[in-house]
Amino acid sequence: MATILIVDDDKDVVDLVHFMADREGYRIVTAADGKEGLERAGQEKPDLVIMDIMMPEMDGHTATVELSRQEATRGIPVIILTAKGNMRSAFELTPNVIAYIEKPFDPKHLQALIRNTLSHKDN
């Protein structure tokens, strides 16, 4: 069973993504900010991270760059899920970012992206 780490300080977003992913049979781990997300990623070694940008303690951009730098987490794909649409270019050079989705988002689109990403990891 694949593990997804959801890093977002918006409980409604976490609940929605958790519900979608749980229905697909994935194991879900959550974190409320980038610092906690880095810790959880190091402990859990998720198969996918869904990361918000604007969070307290450590923003998602800093956390995503750090994930790509650490040997244990650099291969984990990251989907950026954020209301900050003008930040897309900041992630273009981050190798582990596979998609950038702006809020509000279509849950079916995110669900398909998760399914596609995790099916490719199994190969």
3-state helix, strand and coil shares in percent for the chain, rounded to the nearest 5: 45, 20, 35
pLDDT at 111 over 70: yes
Q: What percent of the chain has pLDDT over 90?
A: 71
Residue 122 has what pLDDT? 57
Neighbouring C-alpha atoms within 13 Å toward the C-beta of 86: 0
Using one digit for the tens of pLDDT, what is the confidence trace for 59-98? 998 999 999 999 999 999 999 988 766 665 666 667 899 9
Using one digit for the tens of pLDDT, what is the confidence trace for 9-62? 999 999 999 999 989 999 999 999 999 999 999 999 999 999 999 999 999 989
Provide the residue ranges of all domains of the chain, joining segments of one domain with +: 1-50
Where helices occur in 3-53 by DSSP H, the ranges are 11-23, 34-44
SS3 call for 88:
helix
This prediction has a pTM of 0.92
CB-CB neighbours of 122 under 10 Å: 7
- Dist CA 65 CA 93 (whole Å): 9
Superfamily of domain 1-50, CATH level 4: Response regulator (3.40.50.2300)
